[in-house]
Amino acid sequence: MSAENATKRDIRALDLQALKAFFAQHNQQAFRANQVYQWLWQKGAHHFDEMTNLSKSTRELLDTHFVINHIAVDRQQRSSDQTIKNAIRLHDGLTVESVLIPTETRSTACVSSQVGCSLDCTFCATSQLKRMRNLNPDEIYDQVMALDRQSQLYFGRPLSNIVFMGMGEPLMNYKNVIAAVERITEGLGLSPKRITISTSGIPKMIEKLADENPRFQLAVSLHSAREKVRNQIMPFSTSFDLETLQKSLQYWYQLTRSKITFEYLIWKGINDTQQDIEALVAYCKRVPSKVNIIEYNPTDFGDFEGADQKVIEAYKMALERARITVTVRRSRGKDIDAACGQLANKLIPLES
């Protein structure tokens, strides 16, 4: 970054009102603000000279006051199952990862919300990075736009779904994630119903979110409905007991009428007993929910081992008997460390 640019403000930190105020201050018509806003948040412009319906002098005015900080796709890796992992360079040189997951009919973008993560889930590679900083709304928006372009280019269709299941804990970057979702739904014309925020479960923030009556989906990484076990694998959860989490989810459902998805990993010797199964069924019965059993993806550390198939089957049967919808999800992009819990900014070679 040049010294000159370091003193300029990032224009995407301004909302529409602030943009209008800027133009008023510089004796320009208010509709200019709308035009600029559209360029920034609908067309995803990264340079003022792309804004072709503005006069040269207006573009120069913007250029003397602002920069447009933006991401760059640094490296790309493609899995044998077509999943694409992107290393995304941020304007300050830090890196996050975003993954495009295509199926026959869908293209799902898995985006990051923080650089690293402040939580300490022992089975997740991202937790090893620690939290370096929150992503800004524009950095989240840019990831989605980049993946949308990739989806059009490689699979001939726009994104159909977005999941906040990349690096970071979205509810620990609450304000920016909400702002990004707004911009994304506006900019891509994507229904919020197709967006899922995945959280490790922070009760206060879930309630705050419910109060805003959002229209997107909520997923909670549960992994155990037994306090002791959950505290062991997700140590931060000692501050957020299962009962309080349950109450916040009931509150969420009351206000949004939207079912919660519990994400659930099953490991040998950790949560593979009948007692674990019964605890999960009992927990699910108390709030309208469904369960996604996710295949465990090994990371470079920790002694976790995925449970046997017959345990997964036992979970599935017990949930179905209780009339709780359950799906067993196979992981995608495993061969390139792009699967859930494997995002850790490992050095990857440039695509040849």
The answer to the question of residue 263 lying near ligand SAH (CB under 6 A) is yes
SS3 34: helix
- Which amino acid, 72? A
- Which amino acid, 346? K
Minimal distance, residue 207 CB to ligand SAH, in Å: 17
**Contact positions with ligand SAH (CB under 6 A) in 5-64:** none
Name residue, tokens 């989605």: 144
The answer to the question of residue 146 lying near ligand SAH (CB under 6 A) is no
One DSSP character per residue, 203-266 reads HHHHHHHHHT---SEEEEE-S-SSHHHHHHHSGGGGGS-HHHHHHHHHHHHHHH--PEEEEEE-
Distance, in Å, from the CA atom of 122 to the CA atom of 223, rounded to the nearest integer, reads 12
Distance, in Å, from the CA atom of 334 to the CA atom of 245, rounded to the nearest integer, reads 31
One character per residue 324-343, x = contact with ligand SAH (rule: CB under 6 A)? ----------------xx--
Minimal distance, residue 13 CB to ligand SAH, in Å: 25
The answer to the question of residue 169 lying near ligand SAH (CB under 6 A) is yes
For the purposes of burial, counting CB atoms within 10 Å of the CB of 159, is it exposed (0-12), middle (13-18) or buried (19 or more)? buried
Cβ pair 199, 205 in contact under 8 A: yes
**Residue 133: HSE in the Cβ half-sphere, 13 Å Cα cutoff:** 11
The answer to the question of residue 266 lying near ligand SAH (CB under 6 A) is no
97 labelled catalytic: yes
Minimal distance, residue 196 CB to ligand SAH, in Å: 10
**Stretch of 20-28, 39-47, 249-257, 293-301 lying at the interface with ligand SAH (CB under 6 A):** 293-301
Minimal distance, residue 35 CB to ligand SAH, in Å: 36
**Stretch of 26-34, 173-181, 192-200, 272-280 lying at the interface with ligand SAH (CB under 6 A):** 192-200
Q: Which residue is nearest to ligand SAH (CB)?
A: 341
Minimal distance, residue 224 CB to ligand SAH, in Å: 11
Kindly list the residues in this chain that would bind ligand SAH in the complex (CB under 6 A).
123-124, 165, 169, 198-200, 221, 263, 265, 294, 296-297, 299, 340-341
Q: Which residues are catalytic?
A: 97, 340
